[in-house]
Amino acid sequence: MPDVRNCRKCGRIYNYIGGAPICPACKQLEEDDFQAVKRYLYENPGATLTQVSTDLEMSVEKIKRFLKEGRLEITDDEGNMVLECETCGRSIKTGRLCTECERSLASGFKSAASQIKSEIDSQAASNPKSLGIRYLNKGYEKKD
């Protein structure tokens, strides 16, 4: 029996095949939007959320969703409150959990958290601070 569902976005009935509960048409629209953001960030590395939203006439919420899906990340190393870790509430760059919570979840060792934190701190110290977001796929950024 096919798994027939209502699309969460447009309400149309479709055959659910996995992934987000949206129909193929809406999925394609999402993908188009994501590609647009990806291209924009490729051409404008470090663009801010507001900038992307304004220039692409896309809602900030939608771009935030791409961030939550872990497809984009914020390049700011400190204090950007766009996303919060679902466990401890600390601001994160991408995904749903901060590195510490992700690590302690995976290993169960609390001591790993402080190690990760110092890694992040030293990374933050060595990187020039920049506000904005970038596309995660390294392959796309390769220069020829």
Of 51, 63, 71, 62, nearest to 135 (Cα)?
71
Residue 64 CA, distance from chain mean position: 7
CB closer to Zn ion, 30 vs 69: 30
Q: How far is the CB of 78 from Zn ion (least distance, A)?
A: 15
CB closer to Zn ion, 5 vs 51: 5
Q: How far is the CB of 135 from Zn ion (least distance, A)?
A: 24
Residue in this structure with the two tokens 């991408």, named with its chain if needed: 94
Q: Write out the residues near Zn ion by the rule CB under 5 A.
A: 7, 9-10, 12, 23, 26, 85, 87-88, 98, 101
Please, what's the largest Cα pairwise distance for the chain?
56
Is residue 52 a contact partner of residue 133, using CB atoms and an 8 Å limit? Answer: yes
CA angle 99, 79, 130 (to 5 degrees): 95
CB closer to Zn ion, 88 vs 106: 88
CB closer to Zn ion, 80 vs 87: 87
Q: How far is the CB of 83 from Zn ion (least distance, A)?
A: 11
Q: How far is the CB of 95 from Zn ion (least distance, A)?
A: 10
